[in-house]
Structure 1
Amino acid sequence: MVYRRTERTKRHARTKEEAFVRAAHELVAREGFAGARVAAVAAACGVSAGSLYSYFGSRDELLAQVFRRAAGRELAAVREAVDAAPAHPGARLEAFADTFTRRALRGRRLAWALLFEPVSPVVERERLAYRREYAQVCEGVVRDGVADGLFAPQNAAVSAGAAIGAISEALVGRLSPEVSQKAEVPDEQLVAEIRAFCLRALGGAPSRPLPAGPARPADRA
């Protein structure tokens, strides 16, 4: 009986922890990490704020777990897309850039939180760990492209980090919840522009032409 009670207690604890993480994840997706306050998470679970600390040592510990879950899903989606792409390194690089960009544009508030929002050192460590994992995926693609003679000779690790930085920087204005920035190009054209940039930067050739962008005044003159 003691064993059964212990197992029941463990299952109950796991259920409660999952409820807190799920509630915090939903808050982060809507309001960012700043919105996932202990009181808000507890209220979403219908419990007192103090009860959360029975399962997590601190708010940072909870948010680090939320980050691991959310970022892990995004990373898994990118890996799956790269693995499912044709074996050609250019196609795999396109899959990497397209999937990263489209998913960020589809879940803008969450993407901002995962990529750019100021966070505690505890959560920042998780962010750095996932950036390294993204870089490793991209590095493998670059290394294969260099080996096949399809990309220019280069340090694959450095180029992978630079490509990810460029993708992120190209998205920052579009994702920011603080800056009301008029989109200069439609989302799908932005995806295509980022894809083409990554291929040019690594010395490859785009497999698809860029979509025509909106005409600028100088173009209509």
Structure 2
Amino acid sequence: MARVTQPARTASAKPQPSDKRSAILGAARDLVSRVGFRDAQMTGVAEAAGVALATLYRHFPSKAGLMVEVVAAVAQREVDAAAGLAMGDGTAADRLAASASLFASRALLGRKLAHALVAEPVEPDIEAARLKYRRKLARVFETIIEQGIRAREFPDQDVQASAACIVGSLFEGLVGPLALDNLSTDGERQAQARAIVAFCLRGVSGRVIDL
């Protein structure tokens, strides 16, 4: 009599801790992009992520801790996008314009999230994470400026100061006043973004560069 082989038992597909953590972070980011940091509540994050509130708190014991990780994740994504263009082909001026313009256009597309990452009043821990974001973005621009100086495209200058001014112009000139400005049209906001990028290029290069 032939032996009947029982089918191997397969473990039920249970969400792994890393999957739950990713789902929570994604839900928190999406919620912040709609309502900002202040109004993003842990109960709403848990509901959107499909986890129990107790599970959320096991992964993130505090709202501030969760929001710090949201800032870190979103900031790294934006820095990577700018750095990708910064390390591409073309002159230093072209790459500086491309990376700054990309940051501006992405900020205007995700206006609520951009405002939260830059201008919304937040707790000290979240503000510290936002300052790290600014510094990482500044380093992208520092690299381009250094290359431009070596290639004699840009005059000698304080590289860190110039990069910090670019970040400040983008954050304060664009994201702060424009991200939540419902009185201007998309075309007007894009025109303002181009004007800010042109200002940054003029300051670094010492000449007017058409965009």
Same fold (TM over 0.5): yes
CA RMSD after TM alignment = 2.3
Task: Map 1:53-132 onto structure 2 (within 5 A).
Answer: 53-86=57-90, 88-132=91-135
TM-score (normalizing by structure 2): 0.84
Match of 2:138 in 1: 135
Shift of 1:185: 6.2
Match of 2:205 in 1: 203
CA distance in 1, matches of 2:110, 2:182: 17
Match of 2:194 in 1: 192
Which of 43, 50, 55 is the equivalent residue of 1:39?
Answer: 43
1:157 equivalenced with 2:167 (yes/no): no
TM-score (normalizing by structure 1): 0.81
SS across alignment from 1:153? coil
Runs (4+) of structure 1 moved beyond 6 Å?
none
- Give the conservation status (yes or no) of the 8 Å contact 2:141–2:163: yes
SS across alignment from 1:84? coil
CA distance in 2, matches of 1:85, 1:207: 18
CA distance in 2, matches of 1:50, 1:43: 12
Q: Which amino acid aligns with 2:45?
A: V
CA distance in 1, matches of 2:89, 2:128: 31
- Give the conservation status (yes or no) of the 8 Å contact 1:150–1:204: no
CA distance in 2, matches of 1:41, 1:19: 9
Q: Which amino acid aligns with 1:60?
A: A
Q: Which runs of 5+ in 2 are unaligned?
A: 1-10
Output one character per residue of 1:109-149: Cα deviation in whole Å (capped at 9) or x when no partner.
Answer: 11111111122222122111121111111111112222222
Shift of 1:100: 1.0
CA distance in 2, matches of 1:28, 1:85: 35
Q: Which runs of 5+ in 1 are unaligned?
A: 210-221
Q: Which amino acid aligns with 1:203?
A: S
- Higher Rg: 2
- Give the conservation status (yes or no) of the 8 Å contact 2:201–2:209: no
CA distance in 2, matches of 1:94, 1:204: 14
Match of 1:168 in 2: 171
Mark the CA change 1:146 to 1:60 in structure 2 (over 3 Å): closer, same or farther: same
- Give the conservation status (yes or no) of the 8 Å contact 1:85–1:95: no
